[in-house]
Structure 1
Amino acid sequence: MLRLLHRMGSSSSSTLIIVVVVLAVVVVLGVAGFFLYRRRMKNNGFYLSNTPDMVGVATPPSSNNTPARNRAGSRGRASSQQRPPTAGGRTPRSSIPNIFQLAGLSDHGKKMADAQPRRSSAQSTFPVAVDGHRSRSSIISSSVVQIPSDELNYTRKIAKGAFGEVWLALYGKDLVAVKKLITVEGTSVQDFVAELNLLASLSHRCILTLVGACWDEELTDIQIVMEYMDSGDLLSVLRKNPPSVLTWENGKATYCVQVCEAVYYLHSLQPALIHRDIKSRNILVDSQKGAKLSDFGESRERTVARTMTAGVGTARWVAPEIILGEDYSELADIYSLGVLLTELDTHQIPYQTLGLEESMIVQQVAVGKLRPKVSDTCPEIIRRLTHECLQYDPSLRPSAARVLQTLMASPLVRRPSISLAND
């Protein structure tokens, strides 16, 4: 009997020891696995954010057209970015409020910004690392060349807007235009960086070239450095030169072809990138380089609310389907091209002579009762092309390739070497 009890005691002790050892191993492995997981999360650049879409930074679809203008010394970083809402070349209805919703909706379906207290820069939703350290500059694309601000010699201010200003500066031996953000509140920094990242991904001779950017780690001072165009924007050029001086044959047709080249390039990307803000003020002109498309601040998302508050005349270039909050595609840009053609022909802002309020113009355009007109002396090919681009039904408008081919075949254009290749 004693021997049996002794054997049972030994067996119980052995079992207990085995159980304790197994539990200890499981605990050690669990702790090791947890710390390994934390280390991998941190090394891979994953951050905790207060918003589902991080900082709202949108980048265009990836393409093989990597800009060749990057200089040595750019810093490589992993970036947390989102693709713009242009997949398949179409923006969903839900992303845009129509004109009858302006009183209550904002870009993301929330109450409009003016109905809420403005968020200071300290409250903006930049990515935050797991250890609590803010890493704001990580949202800038690694393809952007960082330029030390002391290498820029500023000369004079050449433009100013509600949120930023543009300065003429000397960078090395080259004149450059420096776009500076002067209002750092709400999502202004995120939007500014989104435009910077977008410019860095585009490469075409008819699109304004990004030279680089200046920024600090906290993005309290950020500047976009671009090539300088010595004649200013197309709106100023048209105002300074009457139609009798700047004719279709001696410049305007070529400007139009160059803009169409840029639009064709954007629409050829996968998915198509819609500019959404094609107008004379966003086309820059140079005495040697001709015309280039610029200002991609609206190429990620466009709402009627933002259109109506973006400046006098901005809504006059917008397609009806955007005003109505309907689904739209790259053909919305074609409508804007049609409006631009009337501006090139008349040297006047669309509907300038009608004396209508902006809201009335938008309402009439939305229902197809109002279109800008060309002059009586407009060349027939421009008149016909304008009519096609301004069709109320988007499916009846020509593609950017069709518009470009039509212009290139015209005797108005004196530069037959232009091709449809994306370069």
Structure 2
Amino acid sequence: MPQYTVCVFPGAANDTYDFNVNEFTIYAVTAISVLVLAGIITCLYHTSKMFTKSSRSADDDYLASTLRPDELKTLHLLQIDADAIVLCGTKPLASGAYGDVWRGIYAHTTVALKRVKSPSPASVHDFIHEILLLHTLESPYIVRLLGVRWRRLMDIEAIVEYCDLGDLRSFLAASTEENVSWSTKATILESIVYGLVFLHTFAPVIIHRDLKSRNVLLDSRNGTKLSDFGTSRILDDQKTLTNGIGTFQWMAPEVILGTQYTVAADIYSFGVILSEMSTHKVPYSDALNASSGRALSQQAILSKVTSGALRPTFAEAAPSWLLEVGNRCLSLDPTQRPTTLELTVLVRDFIGAATEY
């Protein structure tokens, strides 16, 4: 029987085939996994987007439902085309706990845009009522509302006149007692008083409740104006105000204590501004603990103010008329403080005295 020799070669071809199959399987599984993952992410994105859109729409609907028909009508009458305003800069002009102010251009004029920092239906509702209140306040001593803009009601912005010299607090901080004349200061104080006269003789009466140097704006052409009416309240015969609203250094003792207060609380705040005009410093920044020599805490300041043990400091070189009216405005007893109408008479005298000072 013939003998055959069988040659067996290494199975390189089969190994390569198996390797190619395995490699293909890995690539295929990876590709499918990536596609599935991308599909899941896309689905989640669109679901989230739809949910956000639905949530925002619900917020807008709820917000609109909290406003009276006449309030909504007023907002629409005040509405400015959103594209007609160009925002300037990448940072706000001013930033507070609840809102930001930006600079913009509208109709070839520089304007200020105020918006809520973290909008919620409640915070935007309060902001809208500030807008509606400001709309009723037409005075050369009150910052003027030019209109509002929004694409969604939750994103509403107030468009107000721009004051090119900034706020009084910044103005005082950037200057010294010596390089700002008392005639200039008296003119600023006069405008503040006239702004308060307008509010306190309004029908019904309006209490600002957050009068401070940061809320006094200065303009090279249009003078001095009061701003920020977010905490302002209308006072009538049926309403009693007891909420402690304001910035603590400028708060009247009765406001700190949470007892009933009136427009006299604004007069106290004006007295604090008088002290700032003399020192150029933030009120109570010089108040120290007698034993440690450290700055007093906010709680300690509030306690001393309500007991009458602490008052804002006046500079030694301050004119006598400033000290006189300042002490009256800072009286612990609200009934002993002058009214805004009394202040107008005093301020007129101050203007003459300041010119000679």
Q: Same fold (TM over 0.5)?
A: yes
Residue 347, structure 1, aligned to residue 277, structure 2: no
Deviation at 1:230, TM superposition (A): 0.4
After superposition, the C-alpha distances for 1:39-75 in whole angstroms (9 at most, x for unaligned) are xxxxxxxxxxxxxxxxxxxxxxxxxxxxxxxxxxxxx
Q: AA paired with 1:180? A: R
Work out which structure has the larger RCO, using CA pairs closer than 8 Å and 6 or more positions apart in sequence. Answer: 1
Tell me if structure 2 keeps the 8 A contact 1:350–1:372: yes
1:184 counterpart = 2:116? no
The Cα of 1:137 is off from its aligned counterpart by: 8.5
Q: Identify the residue that residue 142 of structure 1 maps to in structure 2.
A: 74
- What pairs with 1:105-124 in structure 2 (closer than 5 Å)? 122=58
2:172 is matched with 238
Q: Who is 2:101 aligned against?
A: 166
2-structure distance, mates of 1:302, 1:170:
40
Give the counterpart letter for 2:277 in structure 1. Answer: L
What is the deviation of 1:373?
A: 2.1
Residues 1:126 and 2:63 are matched in the alignment: yes
Q: Aligned residue for 1:291?
A: 224
Q: Which amino acid aligns with 1:223?
A: E
* Count of residues paired in the alignment: 281
* Identity score, percent: 36
Choose 1 or 2 for highest CA Rg: 2
Q: Does the 8 Å contact 1:276/1:302 carry over to 2?
A: no
Structure 2 distance, partners of 1:196, 1:234, is: 22
- Matched ranges for 1:4-403 at <5 A: 122=58, 126=63, 128=65, 139-140=71-72, 142=74, 145-156=78-89, 157-185=92-120, 187-216=122-151, 218-249=152-183, 251-300=184-233, 303-304=243-244, 307=246, 314-354=247-287, 355-403=295-343
Alpha-carbon distance, 1:182 to partner: 3.0
DSSP-derived class of the 2:83 partner: helix
- The TM-score, its normalising length taken from structure 2, stands at 0.74
Which segments of structure 1 move beyond 4 Å, counting only runs of 4 or more? 120-125, 134-138
Counterparts of 2:264 and 2:179, CA distance in 1: 32
For residue 198 of structure 1, give the secondary structure of its aligned residue in structure 2.
helix
Q: Look up the SS of the partner of 1:252 in the other structure.
A: helix
What is the rounded CA distance, in whole Å, between the counterparts of 2:254 and 2:266 in structure 1? 11
Q: CA RMSD in A?
A: 2.2
Specify every segment of 5 or more residues in structure 2 that has no aligned partner in the other structure, as ranges: 1-54, 234-240, 288-294
Change in CA separation of 1:137 and 1:336 when aligned onto 2, cut-off 3 Å: same
Q: Please tell me whether the aligned partners of residues 59 and 154 of structure 2 are also in contact (alpha carbons under 8 angstroms).
A: no
Letter in 1 for 2:163: M
Structure with bigger helix share is 2
| Cα distance change of structure 1 residues 244 and 363 upon mapping to structure 2, 3 Å threshold | same
Measured after TM superposition, the shift of residue 241 of structure 1 is 1.1
Which residue type is aligned with residue 353 of structure 1?
D
Matches of 1:254 and 1:413, distance apart in 2: 9
Once the two structures are TM-superposed, the CA of residue 185 in structure 1 deviates from its matched residue by: 1.9
Residues 302, 203 of structure 1: CA spacing in aligned structure 2 closer, same or farther, 3 A cutoff?
farther
Counterpart-to-counterpart distance in 1, 2:135 and 2:286: 40
**Equivalents in 2 of 1:140, 1:342: separation in Å?**
42
Q: Could you tell me how far apart the structure 2 residues matched to 1:123 and 1:172 are?
A: 31
One-letter amino acid of the structure 2 residue matched with residue 196 of structure 1: I
- TM score, norm. by length of structure 1: 0.63
Alignment-mate amino acid for residue 126 of structure 1: L
Output one character per residue of 1:144-190: Cα deviation in whole Å (capped at 9) or x when no partner: 52101100011123112233211111101211001122311251111
**What is the identity, as a one-letter code, of the residue corresponding to 2:159?**
V
Partner of residue 347 from structure 2, selected from 407, 410, 415: 407
Q: Conserved in 2, the CA contact under 8 Å of 1:140 and 1:197?
A: no
Aligned equivalents of 2:329 and 2:257: distance in 1? Answer: 18
Contact 2:167/2:215 (CA < 8 Å) preserved in 1?
yes
Provide the C-alpha distance between the structure 1 equivalents of 2:146 and 2:180, rounded to a whole number of angstroms. 30
Change (3 A) 1:278 1:363: same
**Shift, 1:141, TM fit:** 5.8
Residues in 2 aligned to 1:161 and 1:274: alpha-carbon distance in whole angstroms: 21
